Amino acid sequence: MKNETTHFGYETVAEQEKARRVAEVFDSVASRYDLMNDLMSGGLHRLWKAFTIQRSGVRPGARVLDVAGGTGDLSLAFAKRVGPQGQVWLTDINNAMLARGRDRLTDKGYMLPVAQCDAEKLPFPDDYFDCVTVAFGLRNMTHKDAAIAEMRRVLRPGGCLLILEFSQVWKPLAPVYDFYSFQIIPRVGKLVTQDADSYRYLSESIRMHPDQESLKQIMEGVGLERVEYFNLALGVVALHRGYKF
């Protein structure tokens, strides 16, 4: 058997090793994940997620799948939007993140269906969802094209996939952004979670992730159509949207 390798941040690791290493990261940060998101982005991640919801076009009664949904920010916002006739599934590969997400949603009065699953093998039928979203999850996946193809499979014709992810920042901002990512974020991570390495991985994995145009091509390559992207915060983050027809 061929021994395939992939990236784990700047490290090259065997493909079978990546999922375990990613699981260690999210097991370690789950309890402080939401606090760290607010600290690292200065609260901006809330605006990026609100923009994602707004671009989804999701209406009351729709079926939505939140892939790599973690602690459930998008699931919660979609649940409010689709109302009692709709359906929102919170899914993630990691039990610690998912348990936290489920508890948060329950505390806010939303009992959503939850499934622990790998984005590369989704346990849902073909042509089922009106909208599939993945926020800040794709760059952790080993086979991004397989995961995107799987998300397309479960979309109904006319439905859309939204990918919110860190991307390539506007060039003149790169030195400041690099300083912030590699000098400040791991230190804040260490203070808050006692785990600088996980937050170093975060910064490295962002640099290894496909840029805006490359991700658009991957989406088109698996058959998504009318693919476009919106740069947010000068490309720190991009929202990609594509449709299945």
Output the 3-class SS for the chain: CCCCEEEECCEEEEHHHHHHHHHHHHHHHHHHHHHHHHHHHCCHHHHHHHHHHHHHCCCCCCEEEEECCCCCHHHHHHHHHHCCCCEEEEEECCHHHHHHHHHHHHHCCCCCCEEECCCCCCCCCCCCEEEEEEECCHHHCCCHHHHHHHHHHHEEEEEEEEEEEECCCCHHHHHHHHHHHHHHHHHHHHHHHCCHHHHHHHHHHHHHCCCHHHHHHHHHHCCCEEEEEEEEHHHCEEEEEEECC
Q: In the complex, what is the shortest distance from the CB of residue 149 to ligand SAM, in angstroms, rounded to a whole number?
A: 13
For 243, phi and psi rounded to 5 degrees?
A: -115, 150
Least distance CB 92 / ligand SAM (angstroms)? 5
Cβ nearer to ligand SAM, comparing 62 with 151: 151
- To ligand SAM, the closest distance from the beta carbon of 168 in angstroms equals 18
Rounded Cα–Cα distance for residues 77 and 70 (Å): 14
CB of 171 to ligand SAM, least distance (A): 25
Which residue, 184 or 245, is less far from ligand SAM as judged by CB? 184
Whether the CB-CB separation of 139 and 165 falls below 8 Å is answered with yes
Residues near ligand SAM, by CB under 6 A: 22, 26, 68-71, 73, 92-94, 97, 118-120, 135-137, 140-141
Q: How far is the CB of 36 from ligand SAM (least distance, A)?
A: 10
Residue of minimal Cβ distance to ligand SAM: 70
Nearer to ligand SAM, 62 or 68 (CB): 68
Q: How far is the CB of 173 from ligand SAM (least distance, A)?
A: 22
Nearer to ligand SAM, 68 or 239 (CB): 68
Q: Which is nearer to ligand SAM, 138 or 224 (CB)?
A: 138
104 vs 190 by CB, closer to ligand SAM: 104
Read off φ and ψ for residue 42, nearest 5 degrees.
60, 30
CB of residue 93 to ligand SAM, shortest distance in Å: 4
Q: By C-beta, is 6 or 94 nearer to ligand SAM? A: 94
